[in-house]
Structure 1
């Protein structure tokens, strides 16, 4: 009877351990976090610049006027310009950079000869419409001809369709080469330096430039909100023809820039928009003024409802502020104490503000379409700065010799020229590629460092598609297909950020192993102690019985 009891007891203890042996793997399998395999090696290659070479090829087609009395040989002009531009670019921009991160910028140059009569017919009254144009980003036409007057300065006439005419007073091959080389380097050096700095910035601790602080981080869409803020409606009621103004002055710019980012525009009027501080008062001239130190505190974020309720994309706010009667007229002073003519200021990565002091005699004021023309002009200038649009020819003018005079053909009513649009496109492509790589690298590190993070199949798919679009963007850049390169870079950053910010990846983020121990130990420790004690007793009893038999 006692032997049967021992056998039953041992079977009971064994059954517990059998359940544990089969239950542990089942528990481990059912509680493990699903993690789809990510291409860590490929992401590492991209982050180490091993998977691609970033190139922004630029083609300049140069037409040189054929002058009958000239004996100049232009056979080597193309190769001489290529060598000159490449060497100066390397010296000016990459002299201190690590060779590992030097990216090539191509400047192939072609030379063609045009008859002099064609030049005179095509350039009457500064009209460039009869000259050849190119429709592709990265391709530009320069027309070179001898000057017809005694002015020793070089004259550059900039067209709207990726073309420019250069009039050179001294018709000499060396002068022509230097003039064209100076012009091209001055035009593209700031852009290339900005691209290089953006590439190197994640790898260095260099100071952030003012321009990068002002420009918005890239987004496929922005919400643009125009707000008319009235300080005191009890004294003055205000209104504005903002819809007509947007359609007339801004819509063409919105359409043009939509290739890079879509702009959604809305407007509002808010009353009782008081300031959080009292502006300074100049009693002798009876006006109020704001100093540069007060401008950062101008926005009353606590009471002014400026948050967009219709979009989750970044918002650009443009405020037309009408002060109350007891703070009118209100002006902005610069650092030297002079009243600013525009009476406006820019808030980096946020928007812009214009202060207007309308006539209060009638108790109401409507900002008409004509009155809004100058206001919208300032807003568009501020919007250009926030979106990163650079006036490339003005920047080049500062870098060129004082003997070079630059004139402009009247630009179209789009608030952005083709030269500026091309430059912005290239900068945004570089920004998107680098941001995509940085985001994927961060995702890779996060998944590696947190073993409990969920990685579902759709995240794996987004990562693979992001890498594929990165490869396509770089390939299209190499082939001088900037529109396709921009499209794939936009897709790459959207997919990379979608994978990184996917809500399913956060579910196990705050459930580490310490939490598991805290949950399971109170359950399993009280059970395991009797089982271990019982197992120890049975082993001890088995050994004693074995000795007794011997």
Structure 2
């Protein structure tokens, strides 16, 4: 007989086994417990929370984002800018004033001669923006003022009686002396008509180079072709293009650097200041109305040319200057530098044939180099520097774009008008380019400094156009207009956004807005679906 021990600490486990064949139990297990129905207050609270998030995004976030990321675009007078670029705001006109000095001719005869000569000039139908205007000084003071370098008179025709018609151009003054027989000044005669025709032809020939350059500037500008003068021949076009490529860009101030290079310790000094004072200062003083100049000098005690041969060919000239071993002074004050190098050595330049050589050559937009034979002493005196300085002076005029024909005062007067036309066309072209850039890139920033530069440029363009008869005033206004237009076009804050496409903006915003926008959008969609479901249930219950 067995007995069970009664252990108070023992525990009896009863296991209940459920038959797998009971279908009611299986349905209860698979049935999921549904959450309790939401009260209307909970639904309203959740809707208010979602609406508040979207209200913050729409009424606070988006305005702040729009304000902080909107690109500022100052208002530009695009229509007026395009008018300047197309030559509609101002047709460049540079009339040439020519004074007729005829003290021995009666007033009525002089007036008749001037009238007939002017009619002959107008009948030639040259470029309309470049016309010769004849006038007669009324007083001796007016005659003296016409010879002033700062006057607006480009040329003085001095009539003198002689045996036959002949002309002589003064080498140092803007004076064209014309001799004529006594019977050729009587109005209404064939001799008077021949004299007027002769004067018109001489004037046209005297200013033909200036007219060609003016026409070339207009032909290469942004002005439409129907507003340009007639085309030139291929030879003239190539010659003018080469001349414009060689000359420096206009600047009010240039820095002249005179350098002495020698391949040994001797010579070690030179009288450059005295040489410049004697042989170059007279020309620099005449150029003061157009340019200012600063000068410095240096001596390089050792320099080796890139070519060791005694006779340099044209192919050797490009490697003669070694920029690494010939340190030149940099620009001072931001002004363009014109380099004049005197190299002491035995080299010469072969021009064409073996017997023909030269001592210097011009480097476009850079300066000039002169090869000087070694002096007998340790220094180079001013007398020995005469020819190099005269050569540098001639090269300087070429680098400045000075015409080649006529006396020096006439060439400088022509240079003033050419530079005025060039700067006026450059400023107008820059304004047109800026207007087209603003229209082509709506997303580019236009800071207030650009609008201010455009306003100043257009103001000085108007003054330059109105002052075209006054060479110096027109040149100064054209220079300011070109500087302001260039500064506005190359504004740093604007140029930096030229190559910033919209794909970059998407790449920047997407990683920031994605994590924030997805929860907000999904919450809004879930709430809309729940609202539609409740609405459908209410309609079904009704």
Fold-level match, TM-score > 0.5? yes
**Aligned runs of 1:352-501 on 2, under 5 Å?**
352-359=368-375, 365-393=378-406, 417-477=408-468, 480-501=469-490
Q: Which residue of 1 aligns with 2:365?
A: 349
Gaps of 5+ in 1: 95-102, 119-129, 280-287, 324-328, 395-416
Q: Which residue of 2 aligns with 1:98?
A: none
The equivalent position to 2:133 in structure 1, one of 85, 108, 115, is: 108
Q: Which residue of 2 aligns with 1:314?
A: 336
Distance 2:207 2:193 in 1: 21
Q: Structure 1 residue 65: deviation in Å? A: 6.5
Distance 1:30 1:195 in 2: 50
Gaps of 5+ in 2: 1-36, 185-190, 226-230, 232-236
Give the SS at the match of 2:467.
Answer: helix
Query: If the length of structure 1 is used for normalisation, what is the TM-score?
Result: 0.80
C-alpha contact (below 8 Å) 1:260/1:425 kept by paired residues: yes
Q: Which residue of 1 aligns with 2:303?
A: 273
Q: Structure 1 residue 467: deviation in Å? A: 0.3
Give the SS at the match of 2:325.
Answer: coil
Please give the per-residue CA displacement for 1:416-458, whole angstroms capped at 9, x wherever unaligned: x321221111001101100111122222223333334332223
Distance 2:174 2:437 in 1: 45
Q: Which residue of 1 aligns with 2:314?
A: 292
Distance 1:227 1:169 in 2: 55
Distance 1:511 1:105 in 2: 45
Distance 2:112 2:259 in 1: 58
Query: Structure 1 residues 139 and 190 mapped into 2: Cα distance closer, same or farther (>3 Å)?
Result: closer
Please give the per-residue CA displacement for 1:102-155, whole angstroms capped at 9, x wherever unaligned: x433323246899xxx9xxxxxxxxxxx9784432235321222325xxx6724
The equivalent position to 1:87 in structure 2, one of 111, 114, 123, is: 123
C-alpha contact (below 8 Å) 2:161/2:179 kept by paired residues: yes
User: RMSD of aligned C-alpha atoms?
Assistant: 2.8
Q: Structure 1 residue 382: deviation in Å? A: 0.5
C-alpha contact (below 8 Å) 2:147/2:174 kept by paired residues: yes
Query: If the length of structure 2 is used for normalisation, what is the TM-score?
Result: 0.81
Q: Structure 1 residue 77: deviation in Å? A: 2.0
Give the SS at the match of 1:51.
Answer: coil
Q: Structure 1 residue 45: deviation in Å? A: 0.7
The equivalent position to 2:248 in structure 1, one of 216, 219, 234, is: 216
Instruction: Tell me if 1:141 matches 2:156.
Output: yes
Give the SS at the match of 1:526.
Answer: helix
Give the SS at the match of 2:315.
Answer: coil
Distance 1:484 1:472 in 2: 9
Give the paired residue count.
476
Q: Which residue of 2 aligns with 1:43?
A: 81
Instruction: Tell me if 1:2 matches 2:17.
Output: no
Distance 2:214 2:146 in 1: 27
C-alpha contact (below 8 Å) 2:403/2:415 kept by paired residues: yes
The equivalent position to 1:301 in structure 2, one of 307, 323, 333, is: 323
Give the SS at the match of 2:117.
Answer: helix
Q: Which residue of 2 aligns with 1:202?
A: 221
Q: Structure 1 residue 482: deviation in Å? A: 1.9
Give the SS at the match of 1:353.
Answer: strand
The structure whose RCO (Cα within 8 Å, separation 6+) is larger is 1
Q: Which residue of 1 aligns with 2:28?
A: none
Please give the per-residue CA displacement for 1:13-56, whole angstroms capped at 9, x wherever unaligned: 22221122121122011111222111111101111111112211
Instruction: Tell me if 1:12 matches 2:12.
Output: no
Distance 2:144 2:480 in 1: 36
C-alpha contact (below 8 Å) 2:97/2:152 kept by paired residues: no
Distance 2:91 2:115 in 1: 24
The equivalent position to 1:539 in structure 2, one of 525, 528, 531, is: 528
Query: Structure 1 residues 441 and 355 mapped into 2: Cα distance closer, same or farther (>3 Å)?
Result: same
**Aligned runs of 1:57-136 on 2, under 5 Å?**
57-64=95-102, 66=104, 76-88=112-124, 90=126, 94=127, 103-110=128-135, 133-135=146-148, 136=151
C-alpha contact (below 8 Å) 1:232/1:274 kept by paired residues: no
Distance 1:132 1:516 in 2: 66
Distance 1:376 1:80 in 2: 46
Q: Which residue of 2 aligns with 1:24?
A: 62
Q: Structure 1 residue 356: deviation in Å? A: 1.0
**Aligned runs of 1:158-237 on 2, under 5 Å?**
158=170, 160-168=172-180, 171=184, 172-203=191-222, 207=238, 209-233=241-265, 236-237=266-267
C-alpha contact (below 8 Å) 1:141/1:163 kept by paired residues: yes
